[in-house]
Every structure is written in structure tokens, then in C-alpha cells.
Amino acid sequence: MKNIYNLRSIAATAISQVLEQGQSLSSVIPELQQKVSDKDKALLQELCFGVMRVLPQLEWFISQLMAKPLKGKQRVFHYLIMIGMYQLTYTRIPAHAALAETVNGAISLKRPQLKGLINGVLRQFQRQQQELVEQANNNVSHHLHPKWLLARIQKAYPQDWKNIVDANNQKPPMWLRVNQLHYSANQYIALLQEANIAAELDKNYPNAIRLLTPCSVNILPGFDKGWVTIQDRSAQGCAELLMPRDEEKILDLCAAPGGKTTHVLEIAPNSKVLAIDIDEQRIKRVKENLQRLSLHAVVKTGDGRLPHEWAAGEQFDRILLDAPCSATGVIRRHPDIKWLRRNEDIDQLVTLQSEILDAIWPYLKKNGTLVYATCSILPNENSEQIKAFLERHADAELSGTGTLETPGIQITPETIGGDGFFYARLTKQ
Ligand SMILES: C[S@@+](CC[C@H](N)C(=O)[O-])C[C@H]1O[C@@H](n2cnc3c(N)ncnc32)[C@H](O)[C@@H]1O
């Protein structure tokens, strides 16, 4: 059956929703994916994420070929042109198909009169492509990052910033977390081999497996039965550092969509976990994930700054606080972050994180353990945040993660390794 939709126009709409309305790709794409065939879902994802990854380069191409950028109601066609250029530069889609499908996107977007313009710009791009790509590659002062963010990364990592931005510009590897209640990572990798899925173990993370090529979860052995979860290697370090034990009361704060809640329960299936998140929609995903893995936790919507509303005098043996953050460690997974975040967001996030930390600390039992984690690589959200917390709370002690001068463990994103992440473990004296 012939497709009755135009995929490029759907991708242009998604990009417009992100760049014009400030929505995230991960919130926009699932809804749009429902309109397309299974075969096209991956291409939709590739086009949208790809454009976000190299946005400044595509903007520059357009600036070289069009005297006036398309604005207002016509802005979506600016993104359609970018999608055309992205396909010609970064995919193996035959040029004639990429051009025809992109130009036809103007019909689906109800402006057939713009077909000529789009076709003209893309054909001119094709003629000058080699030269334009070379020039763009020579002019990489922005490294495909916004200026403010590049400056922050360069300041925090004067030696390593280049490796970090290079890793941010790659496509991310796909990591699995094997559910130790069913299989060891060694046993599961044998199942992957039987299914012809190439993968390798990680010697530092006991349950982690990296797939050599990302694939759909539907072909992973036992995914529906909860044998395995998609989770980056670095994220797997949080629950391990928390060291939960059966029978303990554990608070997983900022829990949605439940990647770490389920990990805690795989390590300690008889622990009593309370999972809290402020976002009602995302809380539903915690419940779905628990269900898929047949695990049990109490799940509630709540604000981490107001624990009296949902913890009612309870105290916990362990608290995992996976704080809201800039997500600057996971840019390769969510390249739209580069264009959604603003410099001024960082201070606001630092304030929110410290408010949650201060509010939750009284709810940790004496001798209890708190793990503070973020997927940020910015020191103000991480080591500096924990340093200030230790100065404010005389009964808080750093437990085996970093030094008092630079508390916590900071991981930076690596091309085939884990995401950028930070963890600090504190105990209460
Ligand atoms: C990094 S994500 C958590 C990821 C999750 N721990 C996991 O492993 O799947 C941060 C979460 O913090 C939540 N959040 C933001 N502000 C919050 C607040 N004031 N109180 C509770 N949760 C909050 C967001 O809704 C988001 O789900």
C-alpha cells in the first residue's frame, strides 16, 4: 500500500515544534510516529535528531543560498529545506528520492506553490555541496554547540573540552541493562548472539551490554518479559552506588520514567521503594516500566521540595535523588537540548537542586545514604552543588566519592562509552 503521508513534512513539523515552540523531540516524536509505518519510524527519528545535531551547519548552508530566510508561517519550509540538505549530506538515501520526497512535503504542508523554491534551493545546494561542506568544516568555531554552552564546557574542561564536544556530536551507542533477577550479562549476551545481535560486555559495569549497532527493542530477546532494559552505562552506576538492600526503605526522588527505580528493585527486589516525580504524565511511565519488569514500588506524584506532602513523617534508609538538571551530559542522545536550554536556565536549575537537597535531607535516617546524581557535566550543578551542601549541613559526610575539594565522580561523555554523568554519595552522621 502506498504511504498516504509525507515523512519529510512530518519531520519538518516536529523540528518546528522544537525550535519555535520549545517542545522536546522526545515529547513530540512519539505522537508523530503514530502517523507513520514501522519502517518509517526510524527514518523520522534519524531526520529530526540528525538536523538537531548539525543545526548550525544547515543554517549556514541556507544562509549561503537564500537571500532572505523564510519566516512566520513559512518557517516550517525553512526546516523542510534543512531536512533536504541533511539527507543529501548525511544519509545514503538516493539524491533523487531525497529531493522528490522533500519537495513534495510542500504539498502535504499545504503550500504547493513553494515547491519550485524548495526544489531550486536544494538543486543549487547539490551543485555546490562539496564546496559548501568543505567550507563549513573549515569554519567549526561553534563546534555545533551554542556559544554560551561551548564557553561553559571550555571553562570547566580546559584540557578535554574538544573530546567532549566531539562525543556530543556523535550518535549515541545503545546500552542494555540485563535484569539480574533473570540472567547475568554473560548469559544474556549468549542470547543476543543466538539472535544475531552483535554486542559486548563492559568490565566495569556488571549488568551492562553495548550493542554494536542500535536496534529496535522488539527484537531483543525477552524485552517484553523484562529480561533487559535500555539504559546507558553511566546511568547504571547510580543504583549500584546506592547499594540498596532488601527490607530497606528507599526513596527514589525524581524517578520518572523509572530507569533507576527498576534498577534499585532488580538489585534489592524486597526493598520498599517509594518513587516520586512531579510530572504526572511521566509518572505513568514509571508504572509501565515496573509492570513490564514485574516489580513493585509505591509510585506518587509529588514535588521534591515539599516532602511533607508525600512522605508524612517517614524516614528512609537510602535516598536516590536523580535531580532535574541541564542534561548537558546526554546531548548526543538529545541533541535538541543544545537549542532548548538557555544560559540563564543553569542558575535556576542549581537553585532547584539545592532546594530539593535541603528539603529531603531531614527525611534520611541517621547513618543513611543519599546518592545525588545528574546527567550534567557542568560543575555548578555537580561538585560545586555538593560542596556547598556539605558546607551547609554539618551532619553530612562524603562517602567514598571524590574529595572534599571536588566532591563526587564526574563522568564525561565518551564516543563509544557512557553518557556524561555525575554522582556523589553522602551519609548522615
Ligand atoms: C533526570 S530525570 C529522572 C530520570 C529517572 N530518575 C530515571 O532514571 O528514569 C529528572 C526528573 O525530575 C523530575 N522533576 C523535576 N522537578 C521536580 C521536582 N521539583 N520534584 C520532583 N521531581 C521533579 C522531572 O519530571 C524528571 O522526571
Active site (annotated) includes residue 375: yes
Using the predicted structure, report yes or no on whether residue 290 has a pLDDT greater than 60.
yes
Burial (0-12, 13-18, 19+ Cβ within 10 Å), 186 = exposed
Using the predicted structure, report yes or no on whether residue 360 has a pLDDT greater than 90.
yes
Share of the chain above pLDDT 90, in %: 95
Q: Are 377 and 329 in contact (CB under 8 A)?
A: yes
Return the amino acid letter for 364: L
**Does the structural domain 173-230 have CATH classification 3.30.565.10?**
no
Length of the chain (residues): 429
322/254 Cα distance (integer angstroms) = 6
- Three-state DSSP class for residue 273: strand
pLDDT (mean) for 22-33: 94
Query: Which numeric CATH code is attached to 7-142?
Result: 1.10.940.10
**Does the structural domain 145-170+233-428 have CATH classification 3.40.50.170?**
no
**Residue 279 CA, closest ligand 1 atom number:** 25
Pick from 111, 134, 117, 51: which is nearest to 87 by CA? 51
Q: pLDDT tens, 373-411? A: 999 999 999 999 999 999 999 999 999 999 999 999 999
User: What are the two backbone dihedrals, phi and then psi, of residue 97, each rounded to the nearest 5 degrees?
Assistant: -70, -45
Q: pLDDT tens, 82-124? A: 999 999 999 999 999 999 999 999 999 999 999 999 999 999 9
In this predicted structure, what is the pLDDT of residue 369?
Answer: 98
- Determine if residue 260 is labeled as part of a ligand binding site: yes
Using the predicted structure, report yes or no on whether residue 1 has a pLDDT greater than 50.
no
pLDDT (mean) for 285-289: 97
Q: pLDDT tens, 30-54? A: 999 999 998 899 999 999 999 999 9
Using the predicted structure, report yes or no on whether residue 194 has a pLDDT greater than 90.
yes
Using the predicted structure, report yes or no on whether residue 318 has a pLDDT greater than 50.
yes
**Residue 277 CA, closest ligand 1 atom number:** 22
In this predicted structure, what is the pLDDT of residue 313?
Answer: 85
Q: Are 151 and 161 in contact (CB under 8 A)?
A: no
Ligand 1 centre to CA of 277 (Å) is 6
Q: How far is CA 372 from CA 68, 257, 421, in A?
A: 48, 17, 11
In this predicted structure, what is the pLDDT of residue 107?
Answer: 97
Domains in the chain: boundaries: 7-142, 145-170+233-428, 173-230
In this predicted structure, what is the pLDDT of residue 3?
Answer: 65
Residue appearing with cell numbers 571550555: 154
Burial (0-12, 13-18, 19+ Cβ within 10 Å), 249 = middle
For residue 316, is it left (φ>0), alpha (ψ between -120 and 50) or beta? beta
Residues with CB under 6 A from ligand 1: 254-260, 277-279, 282, 303-305, 322, 324, 356, 375
- What DSSP assignment string belongs to 121-177? HHHHHHHHHHHHHHHHHH--TTTTS-HHHHHHHHHH-TTTHHHHHHHHTSPPPEEEE
408/308 Cα distance (integer angstroms) = 28
In this predicted structure, what is the pLDDT of residue 2?
Answer: 55
Using the predicted structure, report yes or no on whether residue 321 has a pLDDT greater than 80.
yes
Q: What does pLDDT average to over the chain? A: 96
